[in-house]
Amino acid sequence: MENMLAQLFEGLETPRSSTEIVSKVLSQTSAASTFLKNAGLQTPGSKSAGSVAREAQLQEQLQAEKTRADLLQQELDTLKKKGEETEDALAKTQEVVLRTQQEMEEFKKKQEANDLLLEIDLEHQRSNVSYLACSALAKYLSVVAVVTQCLEQVGYVTCERICV
């Protein structure tokens, strides 16, 4: 018995209870030993029908829990995968939004530049029209002045003189 306990402490065998060790020693010395049974202790080989049924029931529960744990792990893996896919899709969407915002800023700058060019061109055209109008008016006034001078030299009275 002491050797069996020593092996137990050295880790050579799986841990056994004292009852199992005593039962094994007694079975080696006497096959019909009733010491443990008479002492009210159950030997490892002698299980009651109730304990066998209870052990089977516990085994079924254990198997059901393992199956449930496997299903939950699969569901967790699926949810993690979907989460990663969602994060990837969100990252791509954010990239598209950022590019679109940059394109909008560039478009806005180009539009402002075009508006400025159009305004400059419009002002140029207005000043050109004003210049042409002033030029035409100046030509008209110079012609009127020349005509008036000629008429005065010839003796005709001008409108100014008549109005005064």
Q: What is the pLDDT of residue 116?
A: 87
Confidence of residue 140 (pLDDT cuts 50, 70, 90): confident
Helix axis angle, 2-10 to 18-29, nearest 10°: 140
Q: What is the pLDDT of residue 4?
A: 56
Give yes or no for a contact between 1 and 22, defined as CB atoms under 8 angstroms apart: yes
Q: What is the pLDDT of residue 10?
A: 54
Percent of the chain with pLDDT over 90: 34
Q: What is the pLDDT of residue 164?
A: 44
List pLDDT tens digits, range 95-120. 999 999 999 999 999 998 988 888 88
Measured between alpha carbons, how far is 11 from 7 in angstroms, rounded to an integer? 6
| pLDDT score of 34 more than 50 | yes
List pLDDT tens digits, range 49-100. 677 888 889 999 999 999 999 999 999 999 999 999 999 999 999 999 999 9
* 34: three-class secondary structure by DSSP: coil
Q: What is the largest CA-CA distance in the chain?
A: 170
